[in-house]
Amino acid sequence: MDGNKIVLETKRLVMRSYEKMDAESIFKVVSNREIAATTINIPHPYPRETADWWVNHVRDNIDKGTAYQFGLFKKDNPDEYIGNCGLVSISKEHNNGELGYFIDPGYWNKGYGTEACIKVLEFGFKVLGLERIYGKCMAKNFASKRVMEKSGLNDEGIAKNAVLKWGKYEDVCTLGLIRSDWTST
Ligand SMILES: CC(C)(COP(=O)(O)OP(=O)(O)OC[C@H]1O[C@@H](n2cnc3c(N)ncnc32)[C@H](O)[C@@H]1OP(=O)(O)O)[C@@H](O)C(=O)NCCC(=O)NCCS
């Protein structure tokens, strides 16, 4: 499998590996303050050159099989980049992967995050053969927790004050799913 040529499809989305030319579109979405506010690693302001670095990083990770992230494009407007979803890290040793995603705030609460997440679970379990897929979100990030719940992940608890974001300690929830509990829908 050439990881940097993967194309997945859902009802409304084309999800594909990133190309260098995607950096500007990614920057426009990821530089929104609302995205940085609830993600653990995304800075704000987001330097434009970081988007170029990030695309290269994501492509290198796919080559190494250590992460698989996909750009989300609407089928009814294929040039429009609306966000990211994928496995942000893979442990080959333990055969598991961690979910990560963001959606352009203009498209929130329309089901795109969940639609993409469900497809990534299928990719992770069926194509990569992972045993476990999990995600972490700040406890205050109700939308992200809901995306994982709707995708079938189970609540595994809260780590108190696990991250320091913008000067404040935040509790972090973990949700997970193992292969035998996963049912393809
Ligand atoms: C998390 C995120 C990807 C969700 O994307 P989305 O496309 O809006 O997700 P969906 O539409 O599939 O589902 C959102 C769900 O959260 C619910 N929701 C949204 N805001 C909520 C809130 N403040 N309280 C409770 N539920 C909320 C929605 O009602 C919906 O659930 P429902 O279908 O049961 O009504 C998006 O909010 C985002 O990009 N946030 C910033 C980046 C981020 O936090 N990424 C995750 C890091 S862990």
Q: Is 174 contained in some domain?
A: no
Nearest-CA residue for ligand 1 atom 34 is: 146
Q: Is 160 contained in some domain?
A: no
Work out the number of other CB atoms within 10 angstroms of the CB of residue 75: 11
Q: Domain of 38: which CATH number? A: 3.40.630.30
Q: Is 182 contained in some domain?
A: no
pLDDT of residue 2: 82
Those residues of the chain that have pLDDT short of 50 are: none
Residue 156's Cβ-count burial label (10 Å; 0-12, 13-18, 19+) is: middle
And the tokens for 38?
């609830």
Note down the domain range covering 24.
Answer: 3-131
Q: Is 29 contained in some domain?
A: yes
**DSSP E strands, 31-123:** 68-74, 77-91, 96-103
How far apart are the CA of 103 and the centre of ligand 1, in A?
9
CA 177 to chain CA centroid, Å, is 15
How far apart are the CA of 142 and the centre of ligand 1, in A?
6
Closest ligand 1 atom to 85 CA: 3
User: Cα(first)–Cα(last) distance of the chain, in Å?
Assistant: 24
pLDDT of residue 184: 56
- What's the structural domain count of the chain? 1
pLDDT of residue 57: 97
Q: Is 164 contained in some domain?
A: no
Q: Is 166 contained in some domain?
A: no
User: How far is residue 112's CA from residue 135's CA, in Å, rounded to a whole number?
Assistant: 17
